[in-house]
């Protein structure tokens, strides 16, 4: 998500604007259409500075965006004008503040650890009692017949409460089947065999 951010760990005491690449590329394509990189060809020449970049986003600072602005009425107008060549709409945005206090960091770490432990437990569970080769073979034929949508619905219903995670958005069918426990596989077969 794009937005104004304060995060002492990553930006010190600076206010930054984190711009989502897909979104700003779309704005640029729709209004300017020069086909060049909106960051290096428009934002930087207009005086904005990239202070950090990740996969698919950049954090920017600069005049009119994060500098010399009224922090109670922030807008991305200055960047919009630089990137699209048109005046902005003036939507006022709030600042997202990342709490970097020791307590907040501890809480974040605990949440991450818990999620990780949960994933490991699920993986271990399906290793302990995996679906049999016969189940998987039968499922492959059922899946081909059912179609993607019906399979996904049945899969997620079958794994509920079994410790097996729902199907991932990008997960291949065979990979999803490979995670099934014997119990979940049996439920899925029952669901797909029916009309
Ligand atoms: Zn352009």
Query: Does one domain contain both 8 and 93?
Result: yes
Q: How many domains does the chain have?
A: 2
Query: Does one domain contain both 134 and 59?
Result: no
pLDDT of residue 28 exceeding 80, the answer is yes
pLDDT digits (tens, 9 = 90+) for 120-140: 877 777 677 889 999 999 999
Q: Is residue 15 part of a domain?
A: yes
What confidence score (pLDDT) does residue 174 get?
Answer: 87
Q: Kindly give the interhelix angle for 133-146 and 148-159, rounded to the nearest 10 degrees.
A: 140
CA gap 116, 121 in Å, rounded: 9
Expressed in angstroms and rounded, the spacing between residue 84 Cα and the centre of ligand 1 is 7
CA 180 to chain CA centroid, Å, is 25
* Nearest in space to 167 (alpha carbons), one of 184, 189, 142, 190: 184
Expressed in angstroms and rounded, the spacing between residue 111 Cα and the centre of ligand 1 is 42
Statement: the pTM of the whole predicted model exceeds 0.85: no
What confidence score (pLDDT) does residue 124 get?
Answer: 77
Q: Is residue 105 part of a domain?
A: no
Expressed in angstroms and rounded, the spacing between residue 60 Cα and the centre of ligand 1 is 18
Query: Does one domain contain both 7 and 93?
Result: yes
Expressed in angstroms and rounded, the spacing between residue 30 Cα and the centre of ligand 1 is 10
Query: Does one domain contain both 37 and 79?
Result: yes
pLDDT digits (tens, 9 = 90+) for 51-87: 999 988 999 999 999 999 999 999 999 999 999 999 9
127 or 10: whose pLDDT is higher?
A: 10
Query: Does one domain contain both 179 and 139?
Result: yes
Query: Does one domain contain both 131 and 63?
Result: no
Using 50, 70 and 90 to split pLDDT, how confident is the model at 48? Answer: very high
What confidence score (pLDDT) does residue 169 get?
Answer: 78
Expressed in angstroms and rounded, the spacing between residue 183 Cα and the centre of ligand 1 is 56
Expressed in angstroms and rounded, the spacing between residue 36 Cα and the centre of ligand 1 is 6
What confidence score (pLDDT) does residue 126 get?
Answer: 66
Query: Does one domain contain both 54 and 131?
Result: no
Query: Does one domain contain both 78 and 139?
Result: no
Structure tokens of 43?
A: 């934002």
User: Which H helix or E strand runs over 62?
Assistant: none
Q: Which domain holds residue 38?
A: 3-97
Q: Is residue 44 part of a domain?
A: yes
Query: Does one domain contain both 29 and 71?
Result: yes
Q: Is residue 73 part of a domain?
A: yes
195 or 144: whose pLDDT is higher?
A: 144
Using 50, 70 and 90 to split pLDDT, how confident is the model at 31? Answer: very high
What's the whole-number average pLDDT of the chain?
90
Query: Does one domain contain both 87 and 134?
Result: no
Query: Does one domain contain both 134 and 92?
Result: no
Q: Is residue 116 part of a domain?
A: no
Query: Does one domain contain both 88 and 23?
Result: yes
Expressed in angstroms and rounded, the spacing between residue 10 Cα and the centre of ligand 1 is 29
What confidence score (pLDDT) does residue 88 get?
Answer: 86
């Amino acid at each position: 998500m794009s937005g104004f951010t304060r995060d002492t760990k990553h930006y010190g005491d600076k206010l930054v604007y984190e711009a989502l690449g897909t979104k700003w590329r779309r704005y640029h394509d729709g209004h300017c259409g020069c086909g060049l990189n909106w960051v290096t060809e428009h934002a930087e020449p207009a005086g904005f500075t990239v202070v950090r970049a990740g996969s698919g986003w950049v954090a920017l600072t600069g005049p009119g965006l994060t500098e010399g602005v009224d922090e109670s009425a922030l807008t991305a107008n200055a960047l919009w004008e630089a990137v699209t060549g048109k005046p902005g709409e003036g939507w006022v945005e709030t600042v997202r503040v990342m709490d970097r206090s020791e307590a907040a960091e501890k809480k974040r770490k605990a949440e991450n650890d818990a999620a990780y432990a949960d994933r490991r437990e699920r993986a271990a569970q399906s290793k302990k009692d995996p679906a049999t080769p016969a189940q998987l073979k039968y499922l492959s034929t059922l899946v081909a017949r059912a179609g993607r949508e019906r399979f996904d619905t049945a899969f997620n219903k079958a794994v509920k409460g079994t410790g097996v995670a729902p199907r991932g958005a990008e997960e291949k069918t065979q990979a999803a089947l490979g995670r099934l426990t014997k119990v979940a596989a049996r439920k899925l077969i029952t669901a797909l065999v029916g009309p």
